[in-house]
Amino acid sequence: MAHGRPSYRFDGDGLRTRRETGGMSLRALAKRCEQHGYRVGDSQLSKIERGLCTPRPGLLRVLARIFNVPTEALLLSATSAA
């Protein structure tokens, strides 16, 4: 089994859109993540939104909970990832 890169493609632009639509700053999102039991910095969330890194599965689940969507809604579809 390969380690390092996740087997999914995260939609960073979609995360930014959800966050901004909800009127939430990066700092506020980081705080919400911590309230849900996952500590992450606002700078890390910025990197995720810009596509510089991919969230770990635990953070992906927390983000889905915060935005009340299935985890799949935060991923790129196979056609948009190509």
Domain assignment of residue 57, given as a range? 12-67
Q: Is residue 81 part of a domain?
A: no
How many Cα atoms are found within 13 Å in the side-chain-facing hemisphere of 26? 13
Q: Is residue 72 part of a domain?
A: no
Handedness of CA 41, 43, 45, 48 (dihedral sign): negative
The confidence band for 80, taking pLDDT boundaries of 50, 70 and 90, is low
Q: Is residue 40 part of a domain?
A: yes
Q: What is the pLDDT of residue 3?
A: 56
Q: Is residue 34 part of a domain?
A: yes
Q: Which DSSP category does 72 fall into?
A: G
Q: Is residue 29 part of a domain?
A: yes
Q: What is the mean pLDDT of residues 55-61?
A: 96
Segment 2-22, tens digit of pLDDT: 455 566 789 999 999 999 999
Segment 17-44, tens digit of pLDDT: 999 999 999 999 999 999 999 999 999 9
Q: What is the pLDDT of residue 6?
A: 60
